Each structure stands twice: as C-alpha cells, then as structure tokens.
Chains A and B, each alone.
Chain A
Amino acid sequence: MFRRVASAVWQNILWIGLAAWVLFYAFQDPTETLDDVKTGISNGTIWALIALGYTLVYGIIELINFAHGDVFMLGSFVAVSMWTWLGISAGSSVIVIILGIAGVLIVSMLATGSLNVLIERVAYRPLRNAPKLAPLITAIGMSFILQNVGSLWYGLPTSVPDLIGSQKTLFTIFDVDVVRSDVFAVAVTLPLLIALLVFVGRTRYGKAMRATAQDPDAARLMGINVDRTIALTFLIGGLLAGAAGLIYALYNGTVRFNEGFTAGLIAFTAAVMGGIGNLKGAVVGGLIIGVVQSISDDHYGQQWTEAVVFGILILIMVFRPDGLFGEEVRPG
C-alpha cells in the first residue's frame, strides 16, 4: 500500500511540485495569487490556441511545426494592419468596433490558415518520407523566413489601437478586478475550442483526421485522402493561430516581429505538458503555463519568466514526456 502510494507520488512528482509551488504563494497572499491565476488563465487561452496547432500537427505527422509561432505572429500583424487600413481606432463607434473586430478576426484567421497550408505544401510535404529530422530543419528555415517577413512588415514594436478598452474593469470578484481583455480573450477562445472539439470528434473530416493520425497507411487503404487530411489539419491549426494572433494584439497592446519565437516555444511547452497529440491536454497545458508565467512575473520578475517556462519544458521532457494526460492518438 505504502509502496503504491509512494510510486504514484514519485510518478507525478512534477505535477505535485507545480501544485505545491502555486499553493505556496496562494497561502502567502491569496488575493494576489488569485489575481495571478486570473491573468494567467486569460493569457493562457492564447497559448492554448497556439498549442492546439502544434498538437494537431504533431498528432497527425509527428512533426514539430517550428514555424507555427511565426504564423501566429503574422496573424497578429494581419489584424493590426487591417485595423490601420480600415481606419478603425479606439474612438470609432461601438458598432464599427464590433464589426471591425469580428471581420478582421475572420480575415486574419483565413490568412494564417492558408499560409499554414502553403507552408505544409512547400516545406513539409516533399519531405514526408525523409528521416524525421529533415522536416524539422525545414521548419526552422521556414520560421526564419516568416520572421524576416514580419521584420520587413513592422520592423519596430508597433502599438495596437486599444479597441476594447482592455484595462477597464468589468466586474470584481473576491477583490480581483476582471478587466475587459480577460473577458475578451476567454469569450473569443471558448467558442473556437468547442467548435474544434465538435469538428474533430463528430464530423466525417474529424474522423478522417483521427484515422490518419492513428495510421496513415491504413487510412489511405480505407479511402481517406491522406494528403488532403493533412492539409486540413494545417488549415485548422493556422485558423486557430490567427485567432490567437488577434487576441494577443488586443491583449498586449503591442506586436513585435520576434514575438512568435517565444510564443511558439511557450505554446509548445503547453502542448507537451498536456501530452502532445492530445487536444484537451493542450488547452489545459496552455492555461497552466499562463498561470505559471503570471506567478513567475509577479514573484521573480519578468526577465526570469522565459527561463522558468523553458526550465519546465526541459523537466517535462525529461521526466514525463507523455505529459499530463498522455498521447491520445498514438502510443509512444
């Protein structure tokens, strides 16, 4: 009995340590920690959306789509340029702003979605049968190219019109101010997540995706167009990255061409944390990483946060490469 408990504890030592770390600060200052958790969750929705792109692609072709973070970055750039081009600013009327956000959301999602499909066609499909590290290297190359496109687009950090009045408090709960950007992030993300889960779980195309993820050859024998299914997966990942880009732009207030690299690594950490290939895991992982980040920002200072997150990535990779929930689609 004792041995069983001990081994269960040992196996989950990483999660227990993480929980203990959060609880430690929660006992020290409950209100502040609750505030961190709130910020973390709303920020984490962005990581969750990006992480889904990683996890979908990894689930289906076992490739770490390194360029995904930069696709997200271009999504935020599309949104910002669209608003500038349409002349929508914080001073516009409410109707214009709502329509502007909704319309631009669709445009930037479509832009990143098709970009992601294009990337798959150019950089990954020719290497489908090559050794595994070859497409990873092209992915890095692609990431550099996209980052360079971003630096030509906006060479300097560019501020985003504050369309939603992001820092205005909407309501206060347990002494924690919930601001508009928090609600906005969750309100945009939630429908997308539900739509994704329904699509993958309930539709014919979703079934084709799951089948391809399990065994591409068998799927092909069953009459599934594997190439098209993979392209579809990249499309969905790109759509979500575009939405994440728009949320990020409004949430943070500035966009930079190198935001995608860090965001990509953070989101990848989230995907691994949830068990790569596992959709719900990616979402939970994104939220957890968001919380870890905001607590670390608060207590160790922002300059250490990246190191903390990447340290967690290494720890997970080393001790629990299966993540919290394990891989859903394909065994080890």
Chain B
Amino acid sequence: MSGAKSRAPELRSSFANVRGLLPRWAWILIFLGLAIAYPYVVPNLLGGGAGDDLLDASVNTLGYIIMALGLNIVVGFAGLLDLGYVAFYAIGAFVIGWLASGQFEHVHLDVLTDVQKVLPGFHINFVIVVIIAAAFTGLWGVILGAPTLRLRGDYLAIVTLAFGEIVPRVFENWTFVSNGRQGITPIDRVYFPGVGELNYPIELAGIYFVGLGMVLVTLFVNIRLRDSRLGRAWIAVREDEVAAAAMGVNLVRTKLWAYAVGAAFGGFAGAFLGAYRNTVNVDQFEFGFSVFILCMIIIGGMGNVAGVILGAIALSMLDRFILPQLNDVPDAIGLNFDLTAVNFGIFGFFLLVMMVLRPEGFIPSSRRRLELHSGEVDDVAADRTGVGEPGEALYEARR
C-alpha cells in the first residue's frame, strides 16, 4: 500500500501538468471537436459494418453516460446508495412508449410530428417527451425518496432495490400500459421540424448528435449543480449528516433534490434509449442493469464527473465488444468453457476488486479519496504528530 501511496501524488501532478498546458476553455473545445468529428471519422476508418457497429454502441453509450451522471448525483455527490436506478430508466422509457407510439388506440394526439392525422395513439415530439419523461421520473424520485429519508444508508439501499424490483413487475403485469412481455413497439423516430425524421437504423450520425446534445445538457447541469449551494450541501450531507444539519443544511430538501435530479436523468436517458431502440420491453429492466450503471461510477471514481464518463464509456464498450470476444480465450488456452456466460460475474468481480483495492476509482475525486482512505490517513497523521487531528478523531468516532 505504501508504494501506491508514494506514487499517487506524482501521477496526479503529471496529470495536472498536462492539464495546465492549455486553458480550460481550450480543453472543452478540443473534446467537443473530437466528439463532433467522431461519427464522421471513426466509421470511415473502420469501414462499413464494424464502423456502424461501433457507432451503434456509441449511441447506446451516450445513453449510459447520462444515466451514470444521474446516478453519480445520488451516489457520488449525496452519498445515498441507490440500487434501483433501473426503475427510473424503465419509467422514462415507458413515458416515451406511451407518448410516441400507437399504444393507446382510442386517443389521438399529435404535437409537432411527422405522422400527423394518420395513426392512433399519442405522437408527441421527442424533445417534449424527453422533458416530460425527465419531469415524471423526477417526481417518482421524490415519491420514493420522501418516505425513505430517515433511513440509514444500507436500509436505504435495500428500499431502492425493492423499488427497482417492483417497478418492472408492475409494468410486466399491468398489460394495459406495457403490452406485458411483448413491450411497446414501434416507437416514433426522433423528428425535428425543419430537419425531418432521423432515419437512424441506417444513418446514425443524426441520433448520435441528439444523444451528444443530451449528454452535454446533463453534463452542464451536473457541473453547475455540483458547484452550487445545493451541490456543496450534498457533499456536506455525504461527509457528515449531523454536522451538515448543525450547519443549517436542510437535510430533507437536500436529499430530495438529489433523488429528484438523479431520477430525472434516468428518465431522460430512458426516453432517449427507448426512442433509439424503437422498443420498450420489460426484459431490459432488471437488477443487473442497476449494478451495471453503479459499476461505471465506482470504476471511474465516485463523485468525479470525468471519471464517471470514462467509466461509462469503458464498461459500455467492454460489455459490447470485449466480453463477446472472451469466447475465444479459453479455446486458445485449451479449455472448453464458455466465458460469455460469465459476463455479469465479471461485473461482480470488478465491484469486488475495486472496492477492496481501490475504492476511490481510477480517477478519484480528491475529497472522496480522503474519505475512503481515512483510516490510513489517520494512521499516518498519528505517526507524524503523535496524536490524530481533532477533525479526524471526530470522523473516527462517528464511524
């Protein structure tokens, strides 16, 4: 452990040196430029099928990034472990299933869409649906959050888990709203007045930019919230609830906002993925998915926006491209063993190893790192000064 500790500051300072080469706005422009050029450059480099495959995976990844950023607000910023995030994904996806398909045969309402006056059901423009989905899931976040605020952290995790199990069950059995296991399909394609309908199974760049735009909105809200009064309150609550309350932080309101905003992004992404995949089906919504998103946050570094984005990209691509390839590995070393069957075990293994060896993630937020290694820090401080610092002693006592 001591080796890792002595290396870490060097690594961090070299990272800071690279970052210091250019001003912040230049970095933003560079990343933005790369993201915009991506759908035009990469498929051409890879050519035809492989390029389309990668772009398809990238569009899905954009959805996962939004969800990871949303969950990061709840878990990373406010420190409330949410194991039922899939429920918000499900609700958001069903909102677009209801409002942009022929699911409800006896009503007819068109708002800014291409399919006007032809098909039964609600057909509402994607942008409006996405906003409704985010608001509706945010409301559900509050409904779930309000009664559970008094609970201890681990109880809270289980309540959210139970909620994440109930929501898909309700959708599965209440066939009027969901068509049961068949799901709702087809869902209207994304349409913009002036641009027309995006034909995304064939041409993916358009929907990629829709996703990218949504990621940027999420990112902007995320960073602004983190640096706001509310964001500081979240971190204060995470670090020490009692102290935060004593400093005048309104615990109820702070936590409810975390739930609402986190859930809203789940619905935001759910509506996007529902529209992109052209189907909403209860089979997608299981506990494993909540853990998949949680894994992204933990691997990247809880509470750190850049880390979470990288974690989401890494895991989503791993899930899509690397894990299916694993099939050949045991063959190559002479074993008859299907590694594709172990993909969710691999995520479990990631969680385990990360939490035991590097709980702060690969790109930690410095504050979170201190928190997760406070035991060791205390030892060092005690060795150096003979006594622990008073603040740390307090933290120890709380734990």
Contacts and interface: CB of A to CB of B under 8 A. Distances in A.
Contacts of B294: 137, 140
A15 interface: no
B154 A64 contact: yes
A307 interface: yes
Given A144-B351, A151-B341, A313 B159 contact: yes
A321 B155 CA distance: 9
A145 B352 contact: yes
B352 A147 contact: no
A149 interface: yes
Interface in B136-187: 147-148, 151-155, 157-159, 161-163, 165-166, 169-170, 172-173
A138 B351 contact: yes
B344 A148 contact: yes
Dominant secondary structure at the B interface: helix
Contacts, number: 133
Given A147-B345, A265-B161, A310-B165, A141 B355 contact: yes
A61 B373 CA distance: 20
A30 interface: no
Mostly, the A contact residues are helix
Given A130-B372, A152-B341, A321-B151, A265 B165 contact: yes
A67 to B, nearest CB: 9
A155 B311 CA distance: 30
Nearest to B353: A141
Interface string A296-332: 0000000110110011011001100100000000000
A317 B347 CA distance: 29
A129 B379 CA distance: 13
A143 B348 contact: yes
A129 B348 CA distance: 21
A261 to B, nearest CB: 7
B350 A317 contact: no
Nearest to A310: B162
A223 interface: no
B151 A141 contact: no
A326 to B, nearest CB: 15
Contacts of B335: none
B287 interface: yes
A163 interface: no
Contacts of A127: 355-356
A150 to B, nearest CB: 10
B202 to A, nearest CB: 36
A136 B154 contact: yes
B345 A145 contact: yes
Nearest to A151: B341
B173 A303 contact: yes
A133 B348 contact: no
Assign chain A's interface to a size class: 35 or more
Contacts of A149: 345
Nearest to A269: B162
Nearest to B348: A144
A311 B147 CA distance: 13
A192 interface: no
A64 B287 CA distance: 17
A121 to B, nearest CB: 11
A131 B372 contact: yes
A134 B372 contact: yes
Contact of B154 (A132, A144, A310, A311): A132
Contacts of B353: 141
Contacts of B81: 133, 136-137
B398 to A, nearest CB: 10
Interface in B266-298: 287-288, 291, 294, 298
A133 B303 CA distance: 15
B342 A152 contact: yes
Interface in B190-229: none
B349 interface: yes
Interface in A235-284: 261, 265, 268, 272
A126 interface: yes
A189 to B, nearest CB: 25
Contact of B148 (A134, A136, A142, A318): A318
B83 interface: yes
A123 interface: yes
B371 interface: yes
A142 B375 CA distance: 24
Contact of A144 (B169, B170, B345, B372): B345
B371 A140 contact: no
Contact of A311 (B166, B348, B349, B352): B166
B259 to A, nearest CB: 14
B158 A313 contact: yes
B359 interface: yes
A140 B351 contact: yes
B154 A307 contact: no
B43 to A, nearest CB: 34
A261 B173 CA distance: 20
A126 B356 CA distance: 7
B352 A64 contact: no
Contact of A317 (B151, B165, B287, B355): B151
26 contacts: A64-B157, A123-B356, A127-B356, A130-B359, A137-B81, A137-B355, A138-B355, A140-B294, A140-B351, A141-B351, A142-B352, A144-B347, A144-B351, A151-B341, A152-B342, A265-B161, A265-B162, A265-B165, A272-B158, A303-B172, A307-B169, A310-B165, A311-B166, A314-B162, A317-B159, A321-B152
The 6 closest A-B pairs by CB, nearest first: A144-B348, A148-B345, A141-B351, A141-B352, A310-B162, A141-B348
Interface of A: 62-64, 122-123, 126-127, 129-138, 140-145, 147-149, 151-152, 155, 261, 265, 268, 272, 303-304, 306-307, 310-311, 313-314, 317-318, 321
Given A133-B79, A141-B349, A142-B348, 4 more contacts: A140-B291, A261-B287, A303-B169, A313-B159
Interface of B: 79, 81, 83, 147-148, 151-155, 157-159, 161-163, 165-166, 169-170, 172-173, 287-288, 291, 294, 298, 341-342, 344-345, 347-353, 355-356, 359, 371-372, 375, 399
